[in-house]
Amino acid sequence: MQEITSIKNPAVQSAKALCTAKARKEQNAFLCDGEHMVSEALAVCPERVRALFIDKERAAGYAALLSKVPAAAAVFFVPTAVLETISQVKTPQGVAAVCQLPPSLPLAQQTGRLILLENVQDPGNVGTILRTLDAAGFSGCILSSGCADPYAPKTLRATMGSVFRIPLSFAEDGAAAARTLREQGYAVIGAELHGEPFYQRQQLPQKVCVLIGNEGAGLREDTLAQCTHRYKLPMRGGAESLNAAVAAAVMMYDIMNRQ
């Protein structure tokens, strides 16, 4: 354990920089804020926790959490002002952790029920979908290159820690990923406004992948061409469509409850 008092300390500067995608790539790491997120990291993947920053004025309240920190991780006690410099939230809870980025899982190793996100750009939507995927019991997520970074601060907060439990794969092209899954025997389900009624669908196989497209444009035509099924949710009121995360949640839960 080490005490740091200056915001110019290299460890502090490195952690602070993780708010940017460039730094996350260069350091192969990301920052998670708050007791819940740090506890999830230590519970699910403690080997990925590189460093912990604790507000020294509140350290006594984190004794149980500190007992779970692996020996290889650095622990820094810092003044509130230093933690505020590192933290990516307005009101830091007194703890933050630097975690190593997990490797992208090869698409061929994804199994079970999946979600493929194509150009879903809102961090809140991506994070909420990952959280819902985890809660519903889906197995993994594939993100195209146009999606919001799952390890960016806003996305991480929306996952509420589910990001540590969900196997993620990254694909340059959503259509190519959908084609690969179809060739592997998946029912590839495209969510689109002009599809067949979702609740009137026939029995689906165990291997299912739900495709959710961009908030404004939806799925690309070449991606839709790879789908084995195209479904729409009923709009019985005046709204034309649902938010991407809400639509994904409705479809995932109904598939789990009525395969």
Tens digits of residue pLDDT in 232-246: 998 888 888 889 999
pLDDT of residue 259: 63
Give me the domain span that covers residue 158: 107-257
What's 43's domain CATH number? 3.30.1330.30
Residues 191 and 143 occupy one common structural domain: yes
Domain boundary among 81, 100, 119: 100
Domain boundary among 44, 69, 100: 100
Mean pLDDT of the region 100-117: 95
Lowest-confidence pick of 99-103, 118-122, 169-173, 240-244: 240-244
What's 166's domain CATH number? 3.40.1280.10
Q: What is the pTM of this model?
A: 0.92
Mean pLDDT of the region 186-197: 93
Residues 91 and 115 occupy one common structural domain: no
Residues 6 and 60 occupy one common structural domain: yes
Mean pLDDT of the region 56-79: 93
Q: Quote the distance between the C-alpha of residue 219 and its chain's center.
A: 20
Of 235 and 171, which is predicted with more confidence? 171
Residues 193 and 209 occupy one common structural domain: yes
Mean pLDDT of the region 82-87: 92
Lowest-confidence pick of 20-24, 90-94, 184-188, 241-245: 90-94
User: pLDDT, tens digit, for every residue of 205-228?
Assistant: 889 999 999 998 999 999 999 999
Strands 29-33 and 95-100: antiparallel
From the list 94, 105, 99, the residue with the least C-alpha distance to 45 is 99
* Cα angle: 117, vertex 123, 128; to 5 degrees: 70
Residues 137 and 79 occupy one common structural domain: no
Give percent of the chain above pLDDT 90.
85
Residues 66 and 116 occupy one common structural domain: no
pLDDT of residue 91: 80
Residues 140 and 72 occupy one common structural domain: no
pLDDT of residue 41: 96
From the list 26, 75, 24, 23, the residue with the least C-alpha distance to 46 is 75
Residues 26 and 125 occupy one common structural domain: no
Q: Do the beta carbons of residue 96 and residue 31 sit within 8 Å?
A: yes
Strands 95-100 and 49-55: antiparallel
Residues 248 and 120 occupy one common structural domain: yes
Residues 114 and 154 occupy one common structural domain: yes
Residues 167 and 222 occupy one common structural domain: yes
Query: How many domains in the chain?
Result: 2
Domain boundary among 43, 74, 100: 100
Residues 89 and 116 occupy one common structural domain: no
What distance in Å separates the CA atoms of residue 186 and residue 107, rounded to the nearest whole number?
A: 12
